[in-house]
Chain A
Amino acid sequence: METMKKEFLTVEKFNVISDVFSQAITGELIGMSNFASLAETIEDPNEKMEAVEHANSERMHAKAFMAYAKERGFKININLNGQYWGNVRKQFLSYAHKFDFIACLIIQEVMLETFAISMYTDVGNALGGEAGRLFLRIAEEEREHLEHSSEFLRNELIEDPNAFINKFEEIHFNCMTILSEFSASTDISGHCGVCSGSCMKLSLHHIGLDIVTIRGNALALYAQALDEIGIPGEKSIVWIARLPA
């Protein structure tokens, strides 16, 4: 076992890494819950099974992060009802209750997943060692989830571009507003309820990161995902420009 185990962690570093793991575990559990809820919206037995399987894959991610955190003795705080995670979950459920499979897919697989992929990649590269590899491996798996749903959503768009884009726009403002507030350089809507002390955003420099870059990269990947699906650039730029910052 290399780097992180042998490396002496300063209190600051220990706290940031603990918070990073807390966020990742919370996010994975949100994803797991979302897919479990999504399974209910589906009639087709094969697709239903696929959603459950997907929920399980997010569960495995949560488990892997938890196991690593436990081994290192990180201070983990899981909270699915905090200001931002809780609100994203509420948004997801509001669509799930309407049996809106497409909307659920957009929230979980495009919005949450692009943020996860990008942030895990940044964190993975910054942490290095075993912890870094864990983040990068999970980022890779999330990327497959994103690609899979992009293809599906692209076909949905082709069928009825106007209806699809209008629907996407509504979901964007309902959900990306929350994620943008969450990842803004200042806490726009208060404490996240996950970080142990004050928000880790201001302490990321202890692990060689900063929130502006992390948020920028995440938004960039989201924008690319919109391109992949076929949302016209003149739409996506407006959607992005109107987000809180």
Chain B
Amino acid sequence: MDSTTSGLDFAVLGHQDSWENISDFINGIRTSNEGELTNEKIKEIFSFIPPRTLFRMKVRSNTGAEIKGTYIETFIEPDKLDSSFLRVNIAKVRNAVSYAKKTKAKIATLGGFTSIVLEGNLDPFSDGETRFTTGNTLTAAFIVKGIEKAARDRNVNLKESSILIVGATGDIGIACTNFLKNKAAKLLLSARNYLRLEKLAVELINDGQQVIYSVNIQDLIPEADIIICVASATGIQLSNLKSGVIICDAGYPKNLETRLEQTKGVHLFHGGMGQIAGGYDLEPDYSGTFYRYAAPHIVHGCILEAIVLAFENRFESYSEGKGKITTDRMEEIYNLSIKHGIDLAPFYNAKGLWSQDQNI
């Protein structure tokens, strides 16, 4: 591949979740002489760019180990993540996958939307030296660990709570649902496809879990003490929320703040996120223009999965396919993650870090 890719431990394939991000990135690169580009101009060019490395990373473990990685941008347009653009987006992911293989990184994770190709088993990933993972196991682990912690912090007893999972039949949704089985009073499941929902609900009921399911999320919201949103959808609206409800926004893009009918008495955090205690360096260092989180070294769970596996020298497709994530594996990867100083990110949302009496 290029002159500097040798010896890469991991690669991350990703996409941006807002044009604002992209504009900050591009205009952050441009000199004052060159001037800023308008969003319109950026949109004219962005989606044509073939996948490529934007920056390299060095990540440090608490054990003292250091690994090298690369971030590969797919150039998927943030406002074109829904199913009507599936074909174009899958083509972009495939190109990025071949690019990643050429970097010879030992493991690559398919961040955010890009995991779709590995979940669907649409592509053969076995050739080449690079192993691919969706990163969904650690993402799911961070989501449920976040829920457990938020509940503890707010004195909410899970055993007495009703937990709504929006996107329950997805890869991450199933993992969260199974993890929470028999840990909550009631599980409320929602997705659009009724049959898949019913099938999942029956399994849980057979295992002794009390379940209510509906394709209409409004049927379930009024009863929910906790809501996990892991649907790959941008148009979800949340109204008639219970006062004191805890919401984990774990989908892409994380924009539920703008979808709430009321904000008072709502405790919303962006879930599935971890924080690296040992920190990392970027080359070139875009952290000034690109980084939007409320605390340092916050990273998506799916990316952290590849990092943890690389620290462990376990270059394997840890998460692949759909519905195969087990609670044991979630615990395993979470514990490995802790070992390397990678734990839950502090709670935050669009307004910043949670404060004492957090309302969104």
Contact = CB atoms under 8 A, between A and B. Distances in A.
A231 B34 contact: no
Contacts of A233: 2, 52-54, 72
Interface in A213-245: 215-217, 219-220, 223-224, 227, 230-234, 236-238, 240-242, 244-245
A219 B2 contact: no
Contacts of A230: 1-3
A126 interface: no
A234 B72 CA distance: 9
A232 B49 contact: no
B55 A241 contact: no
Nearest to A217: B48
A227 B44 contact: no
A158 B99 CA distance: 19
A227 B45 contact: no
Contacts of B53: 232-234, 237
Contacts of A234: 52-56, 283-284
Nearest to A236: B52
A231 B45 CA distance: 20
Nearest to A232: B2
A203 interface: no
Contacts of B99: 227
B50 A227 contact: yes
A49 interface: no
B216 interface: no
Interface in A158-198: 158, 161, 165, 185
B233 interface: no
A238 B45 contact: no
Range, interface on chain B: 20 to 34
Contacts of A240: 45, 49
A113 B29 CA distance: 27
Contact of B41 (A157, A220, A245): A245
Interface residues of A, number: 27
A220 B51 CA distance: 10
B52 A227 contact: yes
Nearest to B35: A244
Nearest to A211: B44
A157 B50 contact: no
A219 B42 CA distance: 13
Chain A interface main SS type: helix
Contact of B34 (A224, A227, A236, A242): A242
A161 B5 CA distance: 13
B31 interface: yes
A216 B52 contact: no
Contacts of A219: 45, 48-49
Name the residue among B2, B45, B47 with the largest chain A CB count within 10 angstroms: B2
Interface in B26-41: 26, 29-31, 34, 37, 41
A238 B52 CA distance: 11
Given A227-B50, A230-B1, A232-B2, A242 B29 contact: yes
Contacts of A224: 50
A198 to B, nearest CB: 20
A158 B3 contact: yes
Contacts of B155: none
B356 interface: no
B31 A242 contact: yes
Nearest to B30: A242
A212 B55 CA distance: 27
A88 B213 CA distance: 65
A110 to B, nearest CB: 15
A161 B1 CA distance: 13
B4 interface: yes
B3 A241 contact: no
A237 B53 CA distance: 8
B29 A157 contact: no
A217 B49 CA distance: 8
A185 B47 CA distance: 16
B30 to A, nearest CB: 6
17 contacts: A212-B44, A217-B48, A219-B45, A219-B48, A220-B50, A227-B1, A230-B3, A232-B2, A232-B5, A234-B56, A238-B284, A241-B25, A241-B26, A242-B34, A245-B37, A245-B41, A245-B42
Given A237-B54, A238-B29, 15 more contacts: A212-B44, A216-B48, A219-B45, A219-B48, A223-B49, A223-B50, A223-B52, A232-B2, A232-B5, A232-B53, A234-B284, A236-B52, A241-B26, A242-B29, A245-B42
Interface of A: 157-158, 161, 165, 185, 212, 215-217, 219-220, 223-224, 227, 230-234, 236-238, 240-242, 244-245
Q: Please name the 8 residue pairs, one residue from A and one from B, whose CB atoms are nearest each other, closest first.
A: A233-B52, A216-B48, A233-B53, A161-B3, A245-B41, A232-B2, A241-B29, A230-B2
